[in-house]
Amino acid sequence: MLGLMMQTPLRIAALLEHAAKWHADTEIVSRNTEGGLHRYTYHHAHLRAQQLANALAALGIGPGDRVATLAWNNHRHFELYYAVSGMGAVCHTINPRLFADQLLFIINDAQDRLLFFDLTFLPLVEKLAPHCPQVEHWVLMTDRAHLPAATALPSLLCYEDLLAAQAAAYEWPVFDEYTASSLCYTSGTTDQPKGVLYSHRSTLLHSYAASLPDCFNCSSRDVVLPVVPMFHVNAWGIPYMVPLNGCKLVLPGPGLDAASLYELFEQEGVTFSAGVPTIWFGLLQYMREGQRQFGTLRRMIVGGAACPPALLQAFADELHVEIRHAWGMTETSPLGTVSTLKSKHLALPAEEQQALRNKQGRVIFGVDMKIVDDQGQELPHDGVAFGDLLVRGPFIVGDYFHAAQPGQLTQNGWFRTGDVATIDADGFMQITDRSKDVIKSGGEWISSIALENLAVAHPAVAEAAVIGVPHPKWSERPLLLVVRKPGQDVSAAELLRFYEGKVAPWWVPNAVEFVDQLPHTATGKLLKTQLRQDFAGYKL
Ligand code: AMP
């Protein structure tokens, strides 16, 4: 027997319609790529998204067509999120930090028909264009005054001109909630990037999940500034979560340095923000240098890479911000777990509470997880056993876009994340490594993340990476690679002594090498494949 409730498909356009109707005068503030701030309301954003949908239709875009963006977090990008998906096309956000050959692969694999881009990326787009035959128009996200005098692009259109030519009345179509809405490619450190194709349903369910108290906990009284880019996993779903809750939205544009962020935080009364550890490290240093404090910022999310405990502690103790550690991936929309305490933990001593906050945290509703050994047997939730992390749920990938062998990605309905983790009795998951990065010493596993976290807690260390290098007896042993802070001169022996009493003696790295910098992926993660190549012949 079916239920008798209305059959209203979940659609992305409904989020913006809701905000335009019920939070009409709530603001969206955006730092323009051209300079200066742009300020309008959900009411106006909705009108412009409708104009844009009309413009897309006039350019021949129809259901399922891919429309790409290469853009910062700004109001035009926000309009594209809603206009493209809202009309039934697929909003394909591209990470401009990827290498040119990856970008070409992605644009051609997605078969993007239009590509919208910010002024910053004009030189990049001019290089890509000759190799992207199926892109019919390149649309510069600016006004007529900022169009380049000359360009090599075959068909350049102006965003504001497109909108100006259209009426602001558009009836958002109603379609199946499983319809594709947006497309993101994984960063692909080893293989070619893989496309994750989200649906309206998965996006809406993820937006509800993101809003929950133990997740982002955002309400209509919040002012939200996503530092995490809209070109990387939909800025962790924030552009969808904010209209659902009627939050004021502040979009930082290209200015992601600490001073620019702090200025916006203070000026716009930001209460909530989200970003990767690197960004928060930079901000912490800036706050310390100027002995600054936040006027309104109360909560932050950190994720995308393991967050060193020292950073979590500093934000809480020195800046009085509740900082939540979260884990996720492009394939999980991306929110999977967030580290928030249960009520029984509030009675624990401060260090034990902090030890829980340092973990990647508990699942949000909509995500189920387990850890398994090499034979696929489920491992206990004792906080000690670690194995491959598997997840499932309505906003977890079922198959990659254009998969060579469809239907093979999941096993018995579970997606293998490629991460290795523990889960404790209260359900707190802790990532110990990417499965490719674990160090296997004499048949036992050593967590490179744990060793890196300890190294960066040393006052002389700016950044650290730990990789496994061949060893005649143990097959692999850890090598610590360190970037020292400017003017600091710590020795290898002192760094190794720093591990004493903090980890099992056999975990302590065998050697330390000092480097000027460490390689990173386009999304800011340590590029360990390259480090392993660079140190392939290393003799311990
Ligand atoms: P991406 O799809 O580019 O967002 O990368 C996802 C991967 O980033 C995950 O599979 C993890 O390996 C890593 N990651 C994300 N968040 C965390 C975290 N809080 N701690 C450790 N690793 C993380």
Which protein residues are within 6 Å of ligand 1, measured from CB? 186-187, 233, 303-307, 325-330, 334, 360, 417-419, 431, 434, 523
- Spatial separation of the C-alpha atoms in residues 156 and 116, rounded to whole Å: 10
Q: What is the pLDDT along the chain (540 residues), one digit of tens a residue?
A: 999 999 999 999 999 999 999 999 999 999 999 999 999 999 999 999 999 999 999 999 999 999 999 999 999 999 999 999 999 999 999 999 888 989 999 999 999 999 999 999 999 999 999 999 999 999 999 999 999 999 989 899 999 999 999 999 999 999 999 999 999 999 766 678 999 999 999 999 999 999 999 999 999 999 999 999 999 999 999 999 999 999 999 999 999 999 999 999 999 999 999 999 989 999 999 999 999 999 999 999 999 988 999 999 999 999 999 999 999 999 999 999 999 999 999 999 999 999 999 999 999 999 999 999 989 999 999 999 999 999 999 999 999 999 988 988 999 999 999 999 999 999 999 999 888 898 988 878 899 999 999 999 999 999 999 999 989 888 899 999 999 999 999 999 999 999 999 988 999 999 999 999 999 887 778 899 899 999 988 988
State in Å: Cα 523 to ligand 1 middle: 10
- Asked if residue 303 lies in contact with residue 327, where contact means CB atoms within 8 angstroms, the answer is yes
Residue 520, classified by CB atoms within 10 Å of its CB into exposed (0-12), middle (13-18) or buried (19+), is: middle
Q: Does the annotation count 331 as an active-site position?
A: yes
Strand order in the sheet with 475-484: 461-471, 475-484, 511-514
State in Å: Cα 336 to ligand 1 middle: 10
Cα–Cα distances (Å) from 360 to 95, 270, 355, in that order, read 25, 25, 11
- Spatial separation of the C-alpha atoms in residues 440 and 469, rounded to whole Å: 10
DSSP character string of 454-515: HHHTSTTEEEEEEEEEEETTTEEEEEEEEEEPTT----HHHHHHHTTTTS-GGGS-SEEEE-
- Asked if residue 247 lies in contact with residue 219, where contact means CB atoms within 8 angstroms, the answer is yes
Helices 258-268 and 277-289: crossing angle in degrees, nearest 10, is: 80
In the prediction, which pLDDT does 188 show? 65
Instruction: Read off φ and ψ for residue 27, nearest 5 degrees.
Output: -90, 150
In the prediction, which pLDDT does 189 show? 62
Beta bridge partners of 67: 91, 114
- Asked if residue 83 lies in contact with residue 56, where contact means CB atoms within 8 angstroms, the answer is yes
- Spatial separation of the C-alpha atoms in residues 132 and 125, rounded to whole Å: 10
Alpha-helical runs (H) found in 346-424: 350-358
Sequence spans of domains, the chain: 437-534
- Asked if residue 184 lies in contact with residue 196, where contact means CB atoms within 8 angstroms, the answer is yes
**Residue nearest (by alpha carbon) to ligand 1 atom 10:** 329
Dihedral sign, CA of 77, 83, 86, 91? negative
Q: What are 432's two structure tokens?
A: 């110990």
- Spatial separation of the C-alpha atoms in residues 164 and 117, rounded to whole Å: 18
Q: Does the annotation count 186 as an active-site position?
A: yes
Using DSSP bridges, classify how beta strands 66-70 and 114-117 pair: parallel, antiparallel or unpaired.
Answer: parallel
Q: What are 268's two structure tokens?
A: 């716009």
Q: Does the annotation count 22 as an active-site position?
A: no
In the prediction, which pLDDT does 525 show? 84
- Asked if residue 294 lies in contact with residue 261, where contact means CB atoms within 8 angstroms, the answer is no
Instruction: Read off φ and ψ for residue 369, nearest 5 degrees.
Output: -140, 160
State in Å: Cα 221 to ligand 1 middle: 30
- Asked if residue 465 lies in contact with residue 449, where contact means CB atoms within 8 angstroms, the answer is no
Neighbours of 505 (CB within 10 A): 8
Amino acid at site 448: S
Could you give the 3-state DSSP secondary structure of residue 329? Answer: coil
Residue 334, classified by CB atoms within 10 Å of its CB into exposed (0-12), middle (13-18) or buried (19+), is: buried
In the prediction, which pLDDT does 504 show? 87
Contacts 24+ apart (CB under 8 A), 106-111: 106/185, 106/193, 106/195, 107/68, 107/132, 107/135, 108/132, 108/134, 109/185, 109/195, 109/401, 109/402, 110/66, 110/68, 110/183, 110/185, 110/195, 110/401, 111/66
In the prediction, which pLDDT does 444 show? 83
**Residue nearest (by alpha carbon) to ligand 1 atom 13:** 305
Please pick, among 151, 278, 445, 513, the residue that the annotation labels catalytic: 445
Beta bridge partners of 381: none
In the prediction, which pLDDT does 335 show? 98
State in Å: Cα 329 to ligand 1 middle: 5
**Residue nearest (by alpha carbon) to ligand 1 atom 4:** 329
In the chain, the N- to C-terminal Cα span, in Å, equals 68
Closest ligand 1 atom to 525 CA? 8
Could you give the 3-state DSSP secondary structure of residue 321? Answer: coil
CATH code: domain 437-534 is 3.30.300.30
Instruction: Give, in degrees to the nearest 5, the angle at Cα 156 between 70 and 229.
Output: 10
- Asked if residue 335 lies in contact with residue 210, where contact means CB atoms within 8 angstroms, the answer is yes
Strand ranges (DSSP E) for 232-380? Answer: 248-251, 272-275, 299-302, 322-328, 335-338, 362-363, 368-372
Residue 343, classified by CB atoms within 10 Å of its CB into exposed (0-12), middle (13-18) or buried (19+), is: exposed
In the prediction, which pLDDT does 194 show? 94
In the prediction, which pLDDT does 98 show? 87
- Asked if residue 270 lies in contact with residue 295, where contact means CB atoms within 8 angstroms, the answer is no
- Spatial separation of the C-alpha atoms in residues 397 and 409, rounded to whole Å: 9
